[in-house]
Structure 1
């Protein structure tokens, strides 16, 4: 699954266009490497998201195409 779609489906970022822009500006890292919007993520990948001066690190737990709001948090595990 593409990183921009994963961030939107998991509700870490609310809109896919915002996730795409964050990737293009170098604010998203997958396994320590800068991610482009089309970067594929797999289960157990570590995603680092920079929000201003805060950094969020999550591990991918599952990849789901269609997910309900209540189930979205099961797609990842917060590391820091």
Structure 2
């Protein structure tokens, strides 16, 4: 199943177009490899998705073409959620 479709059907991301944008920005990895929206997702794959200052890592449990809202969470297991440190930009001193 395509990555963007899995994200929509599992409701990790609400819309497929948004899932495609996030993937094409390099914010999603499958098994630690940066992935595009068209990448193939298989059961037992590990996805890491960066949402702003948070990274959510999930394990794919099932692939379904469509699902009810209450059953969507059964398609994955959340392994971890971590907040990213906000990095302050460094100032370059050009007075040499």
| Interval containing the TM-score (normalised by the shorter chain) | over 0.9
Once superposed, which parts of structure 1, at least 4 consecutive aligned residues long, lie more than 3 Å away? none
Q: What residue in structure 2 maps to residue 48 of structure 1?
A: 48
Q: CA RMSD in A?
A: 0.4
Larger radius of gyration: 2
The size of the alignment, in residue pairs, is 80
Residue by residue over 1:2-53, the C-alpha shift from the partner in whole angstroms, topping out at 9 and shown as x without a partner, is 0000000000000000000001100010000011110000000000000111
Which protein has greater RCO, CA pairs closer than 8 Å, 6+ apart? 1
- Greater helix fraction, Structure 1 or Structure 2: 1
What TM-score do the two structures reach when normalised by structure 1? 0.99
Question: C-alpha distance in 1, partners of 2:42/2:66?
Answer: 16
Structure 1: 5+ residue stretches without partners: none
Structure 2: 5+ residue stretches without partners: 81-96
Q: What residue in structure 2 maps to residue 59 of structure 1?
A: 59
What TM-score do the two structures reach when normalised by structure 2? 0.82
Question: C-alpha distance in 2, partners of 1:77/1:17?
Answer: 23
